[in-house]
Amino acid sequence: MSVPITNTVYVLNGPNLNLLGTREPDIYGSETLDDIAGMLEDFAREHDLAIDMRQTNHEGMLVDWLHEAQAEGARAVLLNAAAYTHTSIALLDAIKAIRTPVIEVHLSDPKTREEFRHRSYVGMAAAKTVEGHGAKSYLIALEAVASGEI
């Protein structure tokens, strides 16, 4: 039985993103996760979307939330898996296992950073990747959902 698609967009954030605003602002910017949530909620309201924004430092929770997004009929998932981007085959498998489109989001551009950040397991299954635009990366990803691109 198919679940009807809703107007909800899950915005899932991985480890250490709760420290945005104070953690390496020269790389990640000075906006906090709450600042980003406010920006996304303002945009979502104007485009008849709803945001369900979450953060965890635990890989398995991100997997559970990806499964939940499909079960609840989410329109899409914006996923900033942070360091798990480069290590988590579990997240790769979870994205491949669901029908809900996932957009990979990064504040910085991993390809311009340390070599170990150049491989993205999340990106291997994501419908789109947005990176290197700071907090605006999230907004660009949400615009892709609102426009019907994703």
Q: Annotation-wise, does 57 bind a ligand?
A: no
Q: Annotation-wise, does 107 bind a ligand?
A: yes
Of 10, 106, 121, 138, which one is the catalytic site residue? 106
Q: Annotation-wise, does 88 bind a ligand?
A: no
Q: Annotation-wise, does 108 bind a ligand?
A: yes
Asked if 146 contacts 119 with a C-beta cutoff of 8 angstroms, the reply is no
Asked if 30 contacts 21 with a C-beta cutoff of 8 angstroms, the reply is yes
| 138 noted as active-site residue | no
> To which residue do tokens 């290197």 refer?
132
| 67 noted as active-site residue | no
Of 10, 28, 84, 121, which one is the catalytic site residue? 28
Q: Annotation-wise, does 67 bind a ligand?
A: no
Q: Annotation-wise, does 2 bind a ligand?
A: no
Asked if 142 contacts 40 with a C-beta cutoff of 8 angstroms, the reply is yes
- Reference 36, options 147, 125, 133; nearest CA is 133
Mark the binding-site residues for substrate, compressed into ranges. Answer: 80, 86, 93, 107-108, 117
Q: Which residues are catalytic?
A: 28, 106
Residues in the annotated binding site: 80, 86, 93, 107-108, 117
